[in-house]
Amino acid sequence: MDLQVLRSFQAVAEGVTVTEAAAAAHITQPALSRALNRLEREVGAELLQRVGRVLQLTPAGRVFKEHVDAVLDSYDRGRRAVAEVVDPDAGVVSLAFLHTLGTWLVPRLVTGFRQRFAAVRFELHQADENGLAEHLLDATADLIITGKDPGHPLITWRRLLVEPLWLAVPARHRLAQRRRVRLAEVSGEQFIVLKPGYGLRSVTETLCRQAGFSPLVGFEGEEVETLRGLVASGLGVSLIPAAPDAAAAPETNPELPVRYLRLTDVQAVRDIGIARLASRTLPPATRRFVDHALSATAAQV
């Protein structure tokens, strides 16, 4: 059984066409079709069936794919481990992180790390709060950077920093000239929030409850930058981290299209931490990245 055939089977099972999978494998489409047919004969069951113009997994194919995923993941990890024995300063760090951290924290940590270990490569994945734990559990990432402790018995979490959240209002909002407000002062306004499942959404709902109300949701999005743009357009208010261009004191910059106000009636912060599977031995490069992340954020905890 050829590993490349297993990779092609995996790709087709995940929605890639046979033509695209053949091109990725640098073989012809008929050659890949024959290879997939041989794979089915070896396994002793039909793995893929045509539904309309696409191939879909059969029940036997779904079972087989779970084992193929595990085999290929183990093989790739083995290659990485050997590569790091040969060259301890190289390796691959597989990291998944919250969407909201992709604009500042993750680029900062990765850039700082690569200044010391330039040969290390990164495999980066974005997900919401719920999807991050799955990246660890299904072995598609060695580390996750998340907004809270996943609370899973197999996952070990360590705090990196405490991130302040601000009430973002449009520049012409009635409160825009203030620096500090109570969250309760906007209890009757529309909130621009992330969709359920995102950590920032649950933090927003919790803080609003602490302030004595439930947020009136006007829009649900998937990116903080989208929330920021809708706030700037006057469509509502939002609880979000300050924009990178707001610098260290966002409430003092009158030129921003969004004003960031400090909240006085609730503790508007969220924990940011790094997590791994407790039972998994991390490769050297990944262990070094954990140490770097903890060191680089130590002053912000």
Domain ranges for the chain: 3-83, 88-161+272-300, 166-267
pLDDT at residue 36 tops 50: yes
Output helix, strand, coil percentages for the chain, rounded to the nearest 5: 45, 25, 30
- The confidence band for 247, taking pLDDT boundaries of 50, 70 and 90, is very low
pTM of the predicted model, to two decimals? 0.67
3-83 placed in CATH 3.30.565.10? no
pLDDT at residue 150 tops 90: no
Mean pLDDT value across residues 216-223: 91
* C-alpha dihedral, 202 to 205 to 210 to 215, nearest 10°: 170
Domains 3-83 and 166-267 share a fold: no
Among the listed ranges 170-174, 199-203, 250-254, which one has the minimum average pLDDT value?
Answer: 250-254
Give the pLDDT score at 73.
81
Give the pLDDT score at 257.
85
Mean pLDDT value across residues 25-41: 90
Give the pLDDT score at 101.
86
Structural element, H or E, at residue 30: helix 29-43
Mean pLDDT value across residues 117-145: 87
CA torsion through residues 222, 226, 228, 231, sign: negative
Give the pLDDT score at 100.
79
- The confidence band for 134, taking pLDDT boundaries of 50, 70 and 90, is confident
166-267 placed in CATH 3.40.190.10? yes
Query: Tell me: the pLDDT tens digits for 248-273?
Result: 556 655 666 899 999 999 999 989 99
Give the pLDDT score at 299.
66
Give the pLDDT score at 112.
95
Give the pLDDT score at 245.
56
Give the pLDDT score at 113.
95
Mean pLDDT value across residues 111-121: 91
Among the listed ranges 39-48, 121-130, 242-251, 266-275, which one has the minimum average pLDDT value?
Answer: 242-251
Q: Which of 135, 130, 124, 126 is nearest to 151 (CA)?
A: 130
Tell me which architecture the domain covering 88-161+272-300 has in CATH.
3-Layer(aba) Sandwich (3.40)
Mean pLDDT value across residues 217-243: 91
Q: Counting beta carbons within 10 angstroms of the beta carbon of residue 162, is it exposed (0 to 12), middle (13 to 18) or buried (19 or more)?
A: middle
pLDDT at residue 246 tops 80: no
- The confidence band for 133, taking pLDDT boundaries of 50, 70 and 90, is confident
Cα distances (Å, whole numbers) of residue 86 to 90, 133, 284, 289: 9, 31, 12, 19
Give the pLDDT score at 103.
80
Query: Tell me: the pLDDT tens digits for 71-97?
Result: 888 888 787 777 766 666 778 899 999
- The confidence band for 290, taking pLDDT boundaries of 50, 70 and 90, is very high
Q: How many CB atoms lie within 10 A of CB 30?
A: 10
Mean pLDDT value across residues 42-61: 87
